[in-house]
Structure 1
Amino acid sequence: MLQILGEVVEEPILEAIKSSKAIGLEIDESTDISVTKQLDLHVRYTDKEGRMFCQFLDLVSIPDGTAITIAEAVKEVIIRKEIPQDRIFGLGTDGAAVMTGRRNGTAKLLTDSWPGLVNSANRTSALKAAASVLGVEDLKVTEVKDTRWLSQEKAISNLQRNLPAVLATLAEEAELKKDPVARGLYTYCATYRFVAAVHLQSDILPYLAQLSKLFQKEDINFMAIKNHVPVTIETLRIIKAAGERQPEGSFLAQVEEKVANLNISAEEDRVRRGTALPTDTLWARFQTQVMEPYIDGLIEHLELRFQQLGILGAFSSLGPQGPQADESRAISDLQLLAKQFPPISEMALLQEWQSYKVLITTGILKDKSQLEIMTAMASGSSEGEANHPVQCQAG
């Protein structure tokens, strides 16, 4: 009975998915209460009016968590549910290497089967791994979502501002109440390394949060993303290269002053060696053991996650400013999109581009936002005016 009811509910959803011009998949690996590995599949699609929908697709048990197993399970579900494979253009995963690996990751294996696929790691394990290096997962002034840059940035900002109060409270609990947990936390936090780590993240996380916000805008600017990712990566490289000569006004430039004001004297060195090391030695050790690996890890994950910036940037030619930009660049962008999404005819796309420019510059799409333009394109017309088609050759 449950199977029959499930099929009745699922049937109209599958029909809507099959009629969509563009389909995206979201996959995530998990483990159930019996410690059996499972794969959670969701699907995103648009209807004929261009409205976006997200639906649960399937939950399948898998024998292991290898990229080959995950990719085969995804393809099996797609084939079994008869979803058009030539319309699958998007893939959302977490940032784990098994999903995003350049050579043998799940995304790479699926791209081999579906060449039009564009992968986006919508969650990252970069900061989670970096937090493990820094050892700050359990010290949260505000709640931290381990895979969210914005919550990481807010938590670190609060901690940096309140660090004197946090350390004072821990010291009081340890000395007056003889609390062993407070003593352990104070012993760990009242160190040059910990203070420097907090200041390092205070310098870096705002750049990552700003990048994250670009993706959360309803009216997303593709060219801004294409330009902003390399800028963010280069900014991280500059911070790393500056070493102990950080620019005035940065948080890292204030580390030694902050350590002095907190009246701590390298707790870790007192405990382990019986004497404190000079600050230049402490900085050198922090730089090689924490700062450089942390930044290298962030850069590596950013480069891994954003391998298709050219394709993202090409969509900017379909935005409000696209037809007013350089004609040769627009044509190059359209050729790239036609090549990436084979159902689109390059010749037909370039021909349609001419009428599209008129609609954007002087026609019914003039002064419309990018979201409004994309909605009109997906629905096949703008504001119900059938005399001004805005067709999508992919469909």
Structure 2
Amino acid sequence: MALRFVLPKWIYFIFCFALLSGAGFGSFVPVSYAGSAEQQQEDQPTVYLTFDDGPSKNTSTVLDILAKENVLATFFVLGEQAEARPELITRIVNEGHSIGNHTYNHNYKQLYSDFREFWRQIKKTEDILDSIAGIRPSMIRAPGGTYTNFDEGYFSYLEQGGYLVYDWNVDSGDSKRRNVPASEIKKGAKAENIKGDVIVLMHDGGGHEETVKALPDIIRYYKDKGYQFAPLTPDVKPIQFGVASKIKWNRAQPSEAWLKEHVSANAAVLTSTQKQPELPLHIINGKDTVSLQNNEYKQFERSYYVQLRAAVERFGGTVRWSPESKKAEIRLGGSSIVLESASGKVTVSEPRKEPRSFQSSMWLTDGTTYISVRNLAEMMNRQVADYTLTETKREVVLK
């Protein structure tokens, strides 16, 4: 069930997944800080930046900004736009962002006059995303939001089908009329009166160039306020608007036979695509191999992540969290490594060499910081040479 502003329900799916991409193969190693990192994360609110209606010509620039700022976000995409720009869907996935389903064509009258049409569009978009990137997102955002568009039936049928519906608690206002200026969007995107986590509504569809202009300042605002950034995943409790006393639409009701045939059978199929791995993950570095059990790494769609603390210590290193500086200090293979949680910057100091720095792909959840296997290898002055991710074997080889 899900959190709604008027009629509370809680939707709780025990899938703690994320998308971070690596060097051409989409496999990752998460890391967790030691000791007081968990406390630090509990006190630090999270902002989930979300973008609707893409991908469009604006999406590449949005992705460039997010990469520069080391921020992961969520894209609720339209099926017809995904069909037109499959390379952007691939880039979104490969750069570690989450994808949600925003129906196929965004046509309110079609979508809200008959739940069967809403369902058809969700499944059509799901098939498109599966063909492009091998993903079937369980996260949905209703075009225009759920208020006055959804009734209890829509909420209930989607819940029964295994989906999670996400509204928002901060609206940037970038779609309330044409050509909303960047200055107004920046003001609307600020969570000035909200305590705790924030889901921000923005758009990367056509005609939203001003949103792109506003984005760097919006990110800076939340960084200055001490927020951590993360993509939405199925473990994040949805915010849903309450059911309005009057719905805008006259609609036909699906039959029990139709619901049984389409909705009831869907949850098991959707869940089966998002199972946690049951095999250990082996990371091979020369003669050294570390093995992480299935409760020490997580799978989201086609990517895998492990806890840093386990990986570093099994390679003979140590991790220490500094609450004053909010940095992880890592000793690994004779190197001193500093990972800055706020910016994602990693600095590696090796004997008789100039320090080197790089930006890591980080993702934070439940007091744990995740980092890609590409970045873990880079810390060790290694690269990914090969990988095997099958139903019987999970293995990454470094060189």
- The TM-score, its normalising length taken from structure 1, stands at 0.30
Higher strand share: 2
- The TM-score, its normalising length taken from structure 2, stands at 0.30
Larger radius of gyration: 1
Higher RCO (CA 8 Å, separation ≥ 6 residues):
2
